[in-house]
C-alpha cells in the first residue's frame, strides 16, 4: 500500500531530509586517509543527536540479516556496493567511499547517499561517481506526475548501461515516509510506461548503484550485510528522497 503524503507531511519530511544532508556533509568533510569508518559513523551520530533525530538504520533487522544493523551509517568502501558496516577499517588515499544515511524526525524519515573519493581520485573512479550522479539526476527528472515507476527505472538504467557499468540485481529504491522502506519499489532498470503511476504526494527514494567492471553479479560478505562486487571492481551509490508533486520532483534530502 502506498501512502499519499499531504503538503504538510512533505514539509515535515523535508526537515528530516535536511538532517540527513547535514550528516552526510559532515561525514564527507571528516573522511581522510587514516580515519576509520567507525569514526565517520560517530560523526553522523553526533549530527543526528544534535538535531533530536533518530536513525532508521540503527537496529534495523530484516529477516534476511543475521544480526541487526549496528550503526547509523552504511559505509561501503571500494568494491562494497551497499550496506557496508562501519568498523575499525582505516581509509586510505584513493579509496572510493559510498555513505548512506537516514534520519527520523517528527515521525518522518529521510534517506540519502553520496559517493566520493578520499584524497587523490583515480580517473576511472571519478567517471564512475559522476555517472552515478548522472543516473540519479535522470531518475529524478523522470519522477513526474503522469509517469510511471518504469519510467524512473528506465532513466536510471539507460545512463548506467550506456556508460558500460553493471547494475546489481535485486537492489534499488523504495517508498519513504513514516518508515524507511515503503511501497513502491523503485528498480534501477526497467521498461518505460510500466509500473505504478506517479501521483502528487508520493515519496520515493531513488538510488542508483553502479558496478565499475560492468558485471551485475555481487555477493554478501561474511558480516551478513556488506554487498560486494563479484568481480572485485569498485562501485558507487547515490540516493535522494524525492517527493512527486504537481510542480515537479522535489528533493527532500538536498543540502
Q: Are 138 and 186 in contact (CB under 8 A)?
A: no
Grid cell, residue 91, equals 581509509
> Is residue 217 within 8 Å of residue 175, measured between CB atoms?
no
What are the tens digits of pLDDT across the range 114-145?
Answer: 999 999 999 999 999 999 999 999 999 999 99
Mean pLDDT rounded to a whole number for the chain: 98
pLDDT classification of 1: cutoffs 50, 70, 90: confident
Alpha helix positions (H), the chain: 7-30, 37-51, 123-141, 149-162
pLDDT tens track for 34-70:
999 999 999 999 999 999 999 999 999 999 999 999 9
pLDDT in tens, 67-99: 999 999 999 999 999 999 999 999 999 999 999
Q: How confident is the model at residue 167 (pLDDT cuts 50, 70, 90)?
A: very high
Amino acid at each position: 500500500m502506498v501512502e499519499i503524503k499531504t503538503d504538510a507531511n512533505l514539509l515535515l519530511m523535508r526537515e528530516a531530509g535536511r538532517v540527513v544532508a547535514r550528516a552526510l556533509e559532515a561525514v564527507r568533510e571528516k573522511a581522510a586517509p587514516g580515519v576509520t569508518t567507525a569514526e565517520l559513523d560517530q560523526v553522523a551520530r553526533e549530527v543526528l543527536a544534535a538535531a533530536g533525530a533518530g536513525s532508521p538504520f540503527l537496529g534495523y533487522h530484516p529477516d534476511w540479516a543475521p544480526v541487526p544493523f549496528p550503526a547509523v551509517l552504511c559505509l561501503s568502501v571500494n568494491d562494497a556496493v551497499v550496506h557496508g558496516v562501519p568498523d575499525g577499517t582505516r581509509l586510505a588515499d584513493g579509496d572510493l567511499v559510498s555513505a548512506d544515511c537516514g534520519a527520523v524526525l517528527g515521525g518522518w524519515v529521510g534517506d540519502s547517499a553520496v559517493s566520493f573519493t578520499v584524497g587523490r581520485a583515480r580517473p576511472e573512479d571519478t567517471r564512475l561517481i559522476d555517472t552515478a550522479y548522472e543516473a540519479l539526476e535522470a531518475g529524478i527528472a523522470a519522477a513526474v506526475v503522469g509517469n510511471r515507476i518504469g519510467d524512473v527505472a528506465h532513466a536510471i538504467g539507460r545512463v548506467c548501461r550506456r556508460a558500460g557499468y553493471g547494475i546489481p540485481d535485486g537492489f534499488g529504491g523504495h517508498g519513504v515516509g513514516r518508515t524507511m522502506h515503503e511501497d513502491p519499489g523503485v528498480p534501477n532498470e526497467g521498461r518505460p510506461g510500466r509500473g505504478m503511476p506517479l501521483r502528487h504526494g508520493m515519496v520515493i527514494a531513488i538510488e542508483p548503484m553502479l558496478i565499475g567492471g560492468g558485471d551485475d553479479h555481487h555477493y554478501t560478505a561474511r558480516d551478513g550485510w556488506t554487498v560486494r562486487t563479484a568481480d572485485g571492481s569498485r562501485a558507487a551509490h547515490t540516493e535522494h528522497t524525492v517527493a512527486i508533486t504537481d510542480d515537479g520532483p522535489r528533493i527532500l534530502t538536498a543540502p
